[in-house]
A and B are shown apart, each in its own frame.
Chain A
């Protein structure tokens, strides 16, 4: 049914259509509306049978999910930012044990300083945890990816994270087509677990593995995760057959076929980039955008093909390796630099900073003219940064001040006005 609905509520509806038996979560902004929505569907009896378990922390939420999945229940949880980091050890356990848990990550910045706004620092911190990571561009996409995620997780016995931009998607009210229960039931059959903890037939899972076999265990987890690169397009095609809408997959290209400049990005910023691409095409520039829907496993082949023929690739990303480079940017560079394709990483939208179309147009123009650095920060307030760097130079032991910088930014903005 086509509805004008908040992203969080739409995802809650989609999760309920997937009939999880156990939902366990700890509330944290901006995930809260999702889990409230699932909770109210359990309470009203629309999602039945389902055990909604309130827990004392995110670590507990993931641990309950692990226990539930290990006993053969379809398990779902959701979190954001610091919540994902709190559950980090259990996140690795879930993938190590091969448990097909589905988790929404309503992407949020990670402190300190405290910031509840959107960026991808949380998901990137756990990018190597052995989970599949999917990134939603719209709320429609988020709904569709959740339904595909349960199918994918259970097909491979691998947990799946569906990443959706906190606030930007979770709190947006827009048009979403929610599939029918009949469609979802046809696409996603009841969970047939590969392993079940059963008191009547006791076994141990996750027991000690020493150095003689740990490499082999890790190699096999890697091989299993890579199978998703074959599985994901198949399941997306089947989703289209059942639901009648193309959605999901590894990468998604827009006007990139003949493009000399291709933007690569994750998540909701892709929508803004599409509008910018249309504007720049009007001006006669050959530009397109490729969204990376599946970030883990990394779709090297599909992305490499999508970027063929590009003179330059501009990676817009909402996270970076502090002291290193971009995360997605470094992977894209490794993929295309030996073809002579120039790559640029533009870090943008940190801590909920908006990404204006004008700023994107400016930075893309700079890349096209060869004026952009290999790594840059969109709309960085250079005056403020330089002032603090000068203070730090006076006293090398002094850490950058998180109290003074916001004040300087306000003062600087006031002066410009």
Chain B
């Protein structure tokens, strides 16, 4: 079981991101379960969503307390207490930022995780370029696929194509693909671990 927690703000597509990730995992032939946290539904308020990916049927409805990966859609949330709570020692972190990991204050934290498991990606910039709107969610999914290997880019693209239409569809596919390639450029290819992220943790 590979468990992901996505943090962002209302209006950034946090819930959609978890749903798209679940659809992508399904497209890859896996079982997946996406669910939002419930309560505040105001634009700008902190929002959390979750996704489980597994080779087997997912039965549990318990909360995800020990995620394998975190996606931080808004770097202003890094100051929030408990953002990294429960992250497993082999975990991955993908942050939407134009700054370095040192500049956003997670360098010390990064040192505790395996090499190339934490990455900052300029997702809002890429989104603005392709969509004309600051919606980082699909961009980060592309980056997430390259960073963790938990889903394939093809599955993410298909999930996006099923969800959106017209210019948003093309823009989101282009944005996710660019993020995927950019991330590969930064962390290297994971050809040998394409599907290893699910189940037993690599490294």
Q: Is the CB of A174 within 8 A of B32?
A: yes
Q: Which of A4, A6, A165, A272 contacts B60 (CB 8 A)?
A: A272
Q: Map CB proximity to B onto A326-356 as digits: 1 under 8 Å, 0 otherwise.
A: 0000000000000000000000000010111
B40 to chain A, nearest CB (A): 11
Task: Report B-chain residues with C-beta under 8 Å of the C-beta of A116.
Answer: 38
Does B106 make an interface contact (CB < 8 A)? no
Chain B interface helix/strand/loop/mixed: mixed
Inter-chain contact A272/B61, CB cutoff 8 Å = yes
Q: Is A175 an interface residue (CB 8 A)?
A: yes
Contact (Cβ within 8 A) B60 A357: yes
Say which size band chain A's interface belongs to: 20 to 34
B19 on the interface (CB 8 Å rule)?
yes
- Is A155 interfacial (CB-CB < 8 Å)? no
Number of A-B contacts (CB under 8 A): 63
* Chain A, residue nearest B50 (CB): A172
Looking across the interface, which residue of chain B has its beta carbon closest to that of A353? B63
Which A residues from 147 to 188 make CB contacts under 8 A with B?
165, 167-168, 171-175
> Which B residues from 13 to 38 make CB contacts under 8 A with A?
18-19, 22-23, 25-27, 31-36, 38
- Closest Cβ of chain B: how far from A302's Cβ, in Å? 22
Q: Is the CB of B22 within 8 A of A274?
A: no
Residues of A within 8 A of B25 (CB): 4
B51-69 contact mask (Cβ, 8 Å, vs A): 1 or 0: 0000000111111010000
A173 close to B38 (CB less than 8 A)? no
Neighbour of B26 across the interface among A4, A168, A352, CB < 8 A: A4
A260 to B32, CA, bound (A): 33
Given contacts A275-B59, A275-B60, 5 further A-B contacts (CB under 8 A): A6-B19, A167-B36, A167-B38, A173-B32, A175-B26
- Which residues from chain B sit less than 8 Å from chain A, CB to CB? 18-19, 22-23, 25-27, 31-36, 38, 58-63, 65
Pick 24 A–B contacts, CB within 8 A, sort by A.
A4-B23, A4-B26, A4-B27, A138-B59, A167-B35, A168-B61, A171-B35, A173-B18, A173-B19, A173-B22, A173-B23, A173-B34, A174-B33, A175-B26, A175-B31, A175-B32, A269-B61, A271-B60, A272-B60, A352-B38, A355-B61, A355-B62, A357-B60, A357-B62
